[in-house]
């Protein structure tokens, strides 16, 4: 298993191949449907974003509430395809990596290639297990969205698979077969 740290640098991204199993540490930002809608709205209006996303990693997830004293509740990936309409704009803006589950549209795969970015997947449904790799979490923007707010997460070795690499190759069914 390859150990990588977010934000990912260009060399690391280029070294990742579809199908590689990796462990991700460092900082990532969560964003789901409503946060994507707002972020892209702001970008299209030419207004500043509440978090600087250039070079960063976005994790498609909305955590369960944390118990008192716990860092975070269960937290695992949500369906990436729902973010497809927004993803090319964010990649253009400078986002370099995304974490989610499931396939992406051909348009998104093209954008990933053009941006030299990478798409990683976590196991959907393993959210209690995946929570063990989150060492800190705080709301970074859009607090009014509840679980759909943007959280800054610090990860320690979150197990992921490279699903679409910077060359546009895919490890996901049906592209991989």
Q: Give the residues lining the site for another protein (CB under 8 A).
A: 19, 21, 34, 61-67, 73-76, 78-79, 81, 101-103, 121, 123-132, 144-148, 159, 161, 163, 171-174, 176-177
| Catalytic-residue membership of 36 | yes
Site string for ligand SF4, 62-81 (x = CB under 6 A): ----------------x---
In the bound complex, what is the minimum distance in angstroms from residue 112's beta carbon to ligand SF4?
22
Of the candidates 32, 36, 38, 96, the residue annotated as catalytic is 36
Q: Which does 168 bind (CB under 5 to 8 A by kind): another protein, ligand SF4, none?
A: none
Closer Cβ to ligand SF4, 7 or 147, answer by number = 147
159 binds ligand SF4 (CB under 6 A): no
3-state secondary structure the chain: CEEEEECCCHHHHHHCCCCCEEEEEEEEEECCHHHHHHHHHHHHCCCCCCCCCCCCEEECCCCCCCCCCCCCCCCCCCEHHHHCCCHHHHHHHCCCEEEEECCCCHHHHHHHHHHCCEEEECCCCCHHHHHCCEEEEEEEECHHHHHHCEEEEEEEEEEEEEEECCCCCECCCCCCC
In the bound complex, what is the minimum distance in angstroms from residue 101's beta carbon to ligand SF4?
7
* Residues annotated as catalytic (active site), given as ranges: 36
């Amino acid at each position: 298993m390859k150990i990588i740290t977010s934000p990912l640098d260009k060399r690391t991204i280029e070294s990742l191949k579809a199908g590689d199993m990796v462990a991700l540490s460092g900082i990532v930002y969560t964003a789901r449907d409503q946060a994507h809608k707002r972020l892209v709205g702001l970008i299209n209006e030419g207004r500043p974003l509440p978090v600087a996303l250039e070079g960063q990693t976005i994790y498609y997830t909305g955590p369960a509430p944390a118990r008192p004293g716990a860092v975070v509740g269960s937290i695992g990936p949500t369906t990436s395809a729902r973010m497809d309409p927004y993803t090319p704009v964010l990649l253009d803006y400078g986002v370099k990596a995304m974490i989610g589950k499931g396939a992406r549209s051909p348009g998104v795969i093209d954008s990933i290639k053009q941006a030299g970015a990478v798409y990683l997947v976590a196991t959907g449904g393993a959210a209690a297990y995946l929570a063990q790799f989150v060492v800190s979490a705080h709301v970074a923007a859009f607090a009014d969205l509840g679980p759909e707010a943007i959280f800054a997460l610090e990860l320690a070795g979150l197990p992921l698979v490279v699903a679409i690499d910077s060359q546009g190759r895919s490890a996901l069914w049906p592209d991989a077969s």
